[in-house]
Amino acid sequence: MDIIKKNLNIKKKIQSTESSIIKYPYGENDPYAIIELVASTQIYSKKYNIDQMPVLSARVSHASSGKSGNNPDADLNLMRYLADNEHLSPFEHQSVTFKVILPLFVAREWMRHRTQSYNEVSMRYSSDPVGKFYFPLFWRKQEVKNKQSSLGMIENQKECTEILKQTYQNCLDSYKKLLDLGVCREQARLVVPVGNYTQYYATANLRNWFNFYRLRIDGGAQWEIRQYAKCIDEILSQIWPNSWNVLKETLDKKTKKKAS
Ligand SMILES: Cc1cc2nc3c(=O)[nH]c(=O)nc-3n(C[C@H](O)[C@H](O)[C@H](O)COP(=O)(O)OP(=O)(O)OC[C@H]3O[C@@H](n4cnc5c(N)ncnc54)[C@H](O)[C@@H]3O)c2cc1C
C-alpha cells in the first residue's frame, strides 16, 4: 500500500522515464543477456494517463469514465478493488513489448506463456546467433526434496565452468565443420546447445505480464528466469507504478493469508 501512495504523482514519473530501458539480468558483465522496453501503450488525451487505464475501462460499465483522474485516492482504491477481486479484464488494455536476449533453455520456459506474441531470430536464416553462450555466475547443487529445483552452491565452481567451456567449444567447432561441409544452417543447428542465446520480441497486456511475473518470480521457478521476471518488475513499476503495483500487492496479500 505504501509503495503505491509514494507513486501517486505518476504523470511526473512517466515523463521522466527513459523510452528504452535495458537491464542485464545476470549482471552487467554478461555480454548478452538483455531485456529492453521497446513499446508500451499511450493515451492520446491530456486528461488521463495510461496508468489510469484500468479505472477508465472499469468505470465505462456505469458510464462514469469521466470521473477518473479527479480523485487519485478513489482511482487507486478502485484499482485495488479490481485486483483484489480478480476483476482483471480492466488490466488488459495496456500493452508492453520487450526485446529479450536470453539462453535457449530459459526461452523454452518463457514461451510456455501462450498469451504473449513472439517474433524470434531464426537460426535457419543466419549463423550469427550461434556461439553466444551463457555462463552461470554460480553452479548450484541439485535440491533433493524438490526434484525440479536447486539448493546451495557446488564447491568446485571452476571445474564446472571448464567443462561447460569445453562443451561449448566442441559444439561451436562441430557447427562450423558442418557448415564447411556444406550442410544447411537448419540442420547444422542440431548441435547448438541450450545455453546458446536467442532473442525475440515479446508482447502482452499488463494482466498477462503479471501472470508471467507471478509464476516466474516464485521461488519454485528456475533462478535464471527469475532474473528476467525481476527486470520486468523494475521496468513496469517505473512506467505504471499504480496499475502494476496493485497487481503485485495481491501476491503479498496471498502470502500473508497463507502464513496466518
Ligand atoms: C515453476 C514452474 C514449473 C513448470 N514446470 C513445467 C513442467 O515441468 N512441464 C511443463 O510442461 N510445463 C511446466 N511449466 C509451465 C506451466 O505449466 C505453464 O505452461 C506456464 O507457466 C504458463 O502459464 P500460463 O498457462 O498461466 O500462461 P499463458 O499461456 O500466458 O496463459 C495465461 C492464462 O490464459 C489461460 N489460457 C491460456 N491458454 C489456455 C488454454 N489452452 N486453455 C485454457 N486456458 C488457457 C489460462 O487461464 C492461463 O493461466 C512450469 C511453470 C512454472 C512456473
User: Residues 159, 151: contact at Cβ < 8 Å?
Assistant: no
* Cell numbers found for residue 182: 556444406
Q: Is the pLDDT of residue 73 over 80?
A: yes
Question: What span, in angstroms and rounded, lies between the C-alpha atoms of 167 and 189?
Answer: 15
80 is catalytic: no
Q: Ligand 1: which of 105, 115, 216 to mutate, most ligand atoms within 8 Å of CB? A: 115
Sign of CA dihedral 160, 162, 166, 168: positive
Q: Is the pLDDT of residue 15 over 80?
A: no
Ligand 1 binding pocket, CB closer than 6 Å: 112-115, 208, 211, 215-216, 220-221
pLDDT tens digits for range 96-115: 999 999 999 999 999 999 99
Q: Which CB contacts under 8 angstroms, 24+ apart, belong to 252-256?
A: 253/84
pLDDT band at 198 (very low <50, low <70, confident <90, very high): very high
Q: For each of the domains in the chain, give its residue range(s) and CATH number, in order of start.
A: 2-134+198-259 (3.30.1360.170)
pLDDT at 148: 84
> What is the percent of the chain where pLDDT is above 90?
72
Question: What span, in angstroms and rounded, lies between the C-alpha atoms of 241 and 143?
Answer: 36
pLDDT tens digits for range 30-42: 889 999 999 999 8
Q: If we measure between CA atoms, which residue out of 81, 132, 77, 127 comes closest to residue 103?
A: 132
User: Residues 229, 23: contact at Cβ < 8 Å?
Assistant: no
Candidate from 24-28, 73-77, 180-184 with smallest mean pLDDT: 24-28
Q: Is the pLDDT of residue 13 over 70?
A: no
Distance 109 CA to ligand 1 centre (A): 10
Question: Which of residues 172 and 10 earns the better pLDDT score?
Answer: 172
Query: What is the average per-residue pLDDT within 139-146?
Result: 90
User: Residues 140, 146: contact at Cβ < 8 Å?
Assistant: no
Question: Which of residues 8 and 192 earns the better pLDDT score?
Answer: 192
